Amino acid sequence: MEIKLVKDILQANEVIAAQNKELFAQKGIYVINLMGGAGAGKTTLLERTIERLTGRRRMAVIEGDIATSRDAERIAAHGIPAVQINTGGECHLDGNMVRGGIGQLDLAGIDLLVVENVGNLVCPAEFNIGEDAKAMISSVAEGDDKPLKYPLMFQVSSVLLLNKIDLLPHVAFDVERFRADALKVNPRLEIIPISCTTGEGLDGWLRWLEERSGKRGT
Amino acid sequence: MEIKLVKDILQANEVIAAQNKELFAQKGIYVINLMGGAGAGKTTLLERTIERLTGRRRMAVIEGDIATSRDAERIAAHGIPAVQINTGGECHLDGNMVRGGIGQLDLAGIDLLVVENVGNLVCPAEFNIGEDAKAMISSVAEGDDKPLKYPLMFQVSSVLLLNKIDLLPHVAFDVERFRADALKVNPRLEIIPISCTTGEGLDGWLRWLEERSGKRGT
């Protein structure tokens, strides 16, 4: 009974996610679903990304959080459209919540939309929102054992940002073990080590993003 | 419909959690539900705790993970009973899963049982498992904005271990802001800054634990 209902919820979500996806395709918007545990560095990555893509892509961000509008305020301070969704306790975004967020954006003015999911290494991976690609961010401070312990997000993501590599001298983290385990879970995963503090590796991420998102604005 | 079913699940869980709690009380076992995001340092805290409580409390651990038995192996290597529960994708432990774990332990030989929940700053806080107290662990690498963004776990916990304070020189983290926000969410929360790497602060955590858990063994 419980399992059946979970299936129903996931199927209903798929319908709405497909509608979102069709709308994004019509408008020529490339959409990233950015996921990761709380504190992995999702919002900071977005801030660095916005700074570097100014004039090259017309970006917008939908922020998913359980409470507060802090992340949307951080993003809006960089001068791009930002919509905050408060899930009211829910541990992930779903297609319907994102549909609500889309309604607050001028889609004609956007090339690239990043939806920052709730900080959670588990549940967001189960729900499509109509994205073109799922990106995940993992911090070296979280430890190198995460790919095998939390495999789903690694499986469904196209790209993995391994963040906070500036902390590597101070934490026990085996990059090669992490990389091997992540590729065992998802052999097609592209892994880009970065530091949003020093800027190291961000060029690779920007390249990944620009190759995929079109530029229609100018 | 969906909301009603969620309520039903939570109510059914409360019944089982109450049964677990009664069993623990009968056996004189103090039970901690240890929660926190993935990579906050839950298992490492347990390893340091076991080392220091050897001969003072008879400990056992139930490990909740989505996949792998790595954490239970790490704990068992310290010579105490350890049971691994794999949730099979579920993002939290519930009373019924813990009941299954209890069945694999010799309860007569235990003073203190720690149940390490799935790494997730959100969902575990919603489910009682029959514990005496909820403890949470947060890492300075996760950022100081977590209490207001993920309030529920801070609200339901009795004690908060602020871990990895050895990284404070290398990360942007305002301890006083974090403390003030955590106490705003839960004025009764006891906050203990620790480092499982250097051992700093662990005395305070051990004192908290020993004051609450009885010693029946010798």
B3-34 pLDDT, tens digit per residue, is: 566 678 889 999 999 999 999 999 999 999 99
CB neighbours (10 Å) of residue B162?
25
Q: How far apart are the C-alpha atoms of B144 and B212, rounded to whole Å? A: 29
Q: What is the pLDDT of residues B102-155, one digit of tens each?
A: 999 999 999 999 999 999 999 999 999 999 999 999 999 999 999 999 999 999
Beta carbons of B167 and A171 less than 8 Å apart: yes
Give me the residue label for tokens 């939390």.
A150
What residue type is B125 in one-letter code?
A
The pLDDT value given to residue B216: 54
Q: How far apart are the C-alpha atoms of A158 and A137, rounded to whole Å? A: 11
* Residue A69 structure tokens: 């509008």
Instruction: Considering only CA atoms, give the Rg of chain B.
Output: 17
Beta carbons of B150 and A68 less than 8 Å apart: no
The average pLDDT across A43-47 equals: 98
Of B73, B75, B68, B66, which is closest to residue B117 (Cα–Cα)? B66
Instruction: Compare CB distances from A146 to B38, B122, B145 and report the shortest one's residue.
Output: B38
Q: Which residues touch A63 (CB under 8 Å, ≥6 apart)?
A: A43, A69, A71, A72, A75, A82, A83, A84, A85, A116
CB neighbours (10 Å) of residue B73?
12
Q: Which residues touch B176 (CB under 8 Å, ≥6 apart)?
A: none
Instruction: Compare CB distances from A141 to B118, B122, B164 and report the shortest one's residue.
Output: B164
Query: Residue B183: pLDDT above 90?
Result: yes
Instruction: Compare CB distances from B66 to A66, A120, A122 and report the shortest one's residue.
Output: A122
SS3 content of chain A, % helix, strand, coil (to 5): 45, 20, 35
Query: Residue B167: pLDDT above 60?
Result: yes
- Sheet with B133-139, side-by-side order of all strands: B82-86, B59-65, B112-116, B30-35, B133-139, B159-163, B190-193
The pLDDT > 70 percentage for chain A reads: 95
The average pLDDT across A191-213 equals: 97
Show the DSSP H helices in chain A as ranges: 2-27, 42-53, 70-76, 95-102, 146-149, 151-156, 175-185, 202-212
Query: Residue A7: pLDDT above 90?
Result: no
Search chain B and give the residue with CA nearest A44. Answer: B143
Quote the minimal CA–CA distance from B91 to chain A in Å. 6
The average pLDDT across A134-160 equals: 98
Substitution target from A122, A127, A155, A156 for chain B, most B beta carbons within 10 A = A122
pLDDT band at A218 (very low <50, low <70, confident <90, very high): very low
pLDDT band at A3 (very low <50, low <70, confident <90, very high): low
The pLDDT value given to residue B3: 58
The pLDDT > 90 percentage for chain B reads: 92
Which of A121-135, A145-159, A204-218, B30-44 has the least mean pLDDT? A204-218
Residues β-bridged to residue B136: B35, B160
pLDDT band at A178 (very low <50, low <70, confident <90, very high): very high
Beta carbons of B68 and A149 less than 8 Å apart: yes
Substitution target from B7, B66, B122 for chain A, most A beta carbons within 10 A = B122
Q: What is the ipTM of this complex?
A: 0.91
Quote the minimal CA–CA distance from A216 to chain B in Å. 35
Query: Residue B199: pLDDT above 60?
Result: yes
Instruction: Compare CB distances from A122 to B2, B39, B91 and report the shortest one's residue.
Output: B91
Give me the residue label for tokens 């609500």.
A100
Q: How far apart are the C-alpha atoms of B51 and B57, rounded to whole Å? A: 11
Largest CA distance in chain A: 53
Search chain B and give the residue with CA nearest A41. Answer: B142
The pLDDT value given to residue B10: 86
Is the separation of the CB atoms in B171 and A163 below 8 Å? no
Query: Residue A46: pLDDT above 60?
Result: yes
Substitution target from B84, B94, B142 for chain A, most A beta carbons within 10 A = B142
B130 φ/ψ sector (left φ>0, alpha ψ -120 to 50, else beta): left
Query: Residue A131: pLDDT above 90?
Result: yes
Q: What is the pLDDT of residues A88-99, one digit of tens each?
A: 889 999 999 999
Instruction: Compare CB distances from B118 to A5, A66, A122 and report the shortest one's residue.
Output: A122
Substitution target from A117, A121, A153 for chain B, most B beta carbons within 10 A = A121
Search chain B and give the residue with CA nearest A67. Answer: B149
Q: How far apart are the C-alpha atoms of B196 and B153, rounded to whole Å? A: 21
Judged on CB neighbours under 10 Å (0-12, 13-18, 19+), B188 is exposed
The pLDDT value given to residue A214: 80
Quote the minimal CA–CA distance from A124 to chain B in Å. 10
* Residue B119 structure tokens: 């790494």
Is the separation of the CB atoms in B118 and B37 below 8 Å? no
* Residue A100 structure tokens: 């609500």
Inter-axis angle of helices A42-53 and A202-212, nearest 10: 70
Contacts of B149 in chain A (CB under 8 A): 38, 65-68, 70-71, 119
Average model confidence (pLDDT) across chain A = 95
Instruction: Compare CB distances from B150 to A5, A66, A146 and report the shortest one's residue.
Output: A66
Beta carbons of B39 and A89 less than 8 Å apart: no
Beta carbons of B119 and A143 less than 8 Å apart: no
Question: DSSP states of A62-80 as a string?
Answer: EEEESS-SHHHHHHHTTTS
Contacts of A65 in chain B (CB under 8 A): 149
Quote the minimal CA–CA distance from A214 to chain B in Å. 33
Is the separation of the CB atoms in B171 and B141 below 8 Å? yes
The pLDDT value given to residue A9: 83
pLDDT band at A216 (very low <50, low <70, confident <90, very high): low
Contacts of B65 in chain A (CB under 8 A): 149
Q: How far apart are the C-alpha atoms of A127 and A117, rounded to whole Å? A: 10
Its pTM stands at 0.94
The average pLDDT across B39-49 equals: 98
Q: Which residues touch B208 (CB under 8 Å, ≥6 apart)?
A: B159, B190, B192
Q: How far apart are the C-alpha atoms of B151 and A6, rounded to whole Å? A: 26
Quote the minimal CA–CA distance from B211 to chain A in Å. 30
Is the separation of the CB atoms in B132 and B24 below 8 Å? yes
The average pLDDT across A62-71 equals: 96
